[in-house]
Chain A
Amino acid sequence: MRILINGLILFFILILTYLTSVFSKELIEEFPVPPPPFSEGIYPCSNCHASMDLNPKKRVLKDEHTNIQLHHAETLRWCLDCHYSKNRDKLRLYNGELIDFGRSYLLCGECHGNVFRDWKAGIHGKRQGYFIGGKRTYLLCVHCHDAHSPKFKGIKPEPPPLPPKVKRDVR
């Protein structure tokens, strides 16, 4: 009888370990991405910001970051909604979790859930390299979209095909 009980306990422990390993794998799922496309010399942000006073007021930036035009739900949002005020080298999720810039897809995915789902499946975004015998290549959202103004801008198309020759003396 004791052997049976011990066996049962062991069985449950095994099932529990399996389940936790499956769930934790899902939680810490990582995507291989190249490093984020920072402008030169801008990172780490704390180089400048660590010694600066915090000014949480929404305003037009006149001294620094003047090239950033916020066109991304700008009426609702300000820098510190995504950038963590106490450590500028990190981004902040809604739940308060701090993430590196290399995992910024988690931040984008908070609003753009359906796009995030497609991105994880490898559908949203550009595909390159090998699809057999290699890992899927992912790009961060910010490799293609400007995080502060994500809408794609128009580009010049390549030249059209040449029209067929028209023979003038055909009757």
Chain B
Amino acid sequence: MTKEEKEALIARLEERYLKKYKKKFRVGIEEAIQNTLWGYGLDLSRCIGCRRCVYACVEENNCSREKPQSQWIRVIRLKKGSLINLEDSEHYYNPELVPEKEFLYIPVQCQQCENPPCVRVCPVHATWKEPDGLVVVDYNWCIGCRYCIAACPYRGRIFNWGEPNVPPEHWNTSVHYLGNRPRMRNVVDKCTFCIQRVRMGRYPACVEVCPTGSRKFGNLLDPNSEIRYVIQNKRTFRLKEDLNTEPKFYYFFEA
């Protein structure tokens, strides 16, 4: 698309949102910053499973609150000592207080794989990997076949069964075309590491809200970045490494 075509499209979208949601949206089309490859770190020895990140993400990314409920982050709970048995995990836990002594919590969201199986199966090329490593969806191209949901080994993609159900005063009007703009019915969406924020140099919403500071974010190509420090100095692992998906989401432990 040429620059003029893009601008016309954005103007059309903003007008449509204004009519539909009675809000002035700012739809961004910022392109990837040069020499960036975004990577995420999550400290499992500090995560307490409080789900603050889940709700900060819902708020930031205009996810449907209920009927249908749509959440991009799932926090799974595992018994300590059985970290590899992901089948035994559960995400409906609801104790009085967290953390619980005998459990470990693993927040799971889109892992922004370098070799993303979800992209390969899309029959209409509605999803792809951006130059900064973010796997994105064009909601206007998505036909809702859900092949990508079946292909993703992390359950990182969510299907919108209905129009987003967001209280009018809670719309986040600072959106990105490939990120948190209001989705339509029957399309697939997913975590984009808050593309609308990171391309402006801000931390993702889940990083900012985490009360224990478990979440780290940075540029994998910058040797002085926080994420590179984590990879060089901590014991890190990635989920389901054996599948050769090469996630850019590094879980680590203090040590």
Show the binding face of A for B, using Cβ within 8 Å.
118, 121-134, 144, 152, 154-163
Contacts and interface: CB of A to CB of B under 8 A. Distances in A.
Given A127-B208, A152-B212, A157 B49 contact: yes
A123 B94 contact: no
Most buried by B among A122, A124, A132: A132
24 contacts: A121-B226, A122-B226, A123-B233, A125-B213, A126-B208, A126-B210, A126-B213, A129-B202, A130-B201, A131-B202, A152-B48, A152-B212, A154-B98, A155-B48, A155-B98, A156-B50, A157-B50, A157-B93, A157-B98, A158-B51, A160-B91, A161-B54, A161-B69, A161-B91
B50 A158 contact: yes
Contacts of A128: 203, 207-208
A123 B218 CA distance: 11
A123 B96 contact: no
Contacts of A129: 202-203, 208
A123 B71 CA distance: 27
A148 to B, nearest CB: 19
A152 to B, nearest CB: 7
Contact of A160 (B52, B92, B201, B218): B92
B174 to A, nearest CB: 15
B197 to A, nearest CB: 10
Contacts of B66: 162
B51 A157 contact: yes
A127 B217 contact: yes
Most buried by B among A123, A125, A152, A156: A123
Nearest to A121: B229
A131 B98 contact: no
Interface of B: 33, 48-52, 54-55, 66, 69, 71, 74, 91-99, 200-203, 207-208, 210-213, 215-218, 226, 229-230, 233
Nearest to A122: B226
Contact of B203 (A123, A125, A127, A160): A127
B94 A160 contact: yes
* A-B residue pairs, 5 tightest by C-beta: A132-B201, A154-B97, A158-B51, A126-B213, A160-B92
A155 B50 CA distance: 7
B194 to A, nearest CB: 12
Most buried by A among B49, B51, B95: B51
A13 B213 CA distance: 46
A154 B91 contact: no
Contacts of B99: 154
A131 B201 contact: yes
Contacts of B92: 160-161, 163
A161 B74 contact: yes
Contacts of B96: 156
Contacts of A160: 51, 91-94
Given A144-B211, A160-B51, A162-B69, 11 more contacts: A121-B229, A123-B230, A124-B213, A127-B203, A127-B215, A129-B202, A130-B201, A132-B201, A154-B97, A156-B50, A163-B92
Contacts of A163: 92
Given A126-B213, A131-B201, A157 B226 contact: no
Given A127-B213, A132-B33, A161 B71 contact: yes
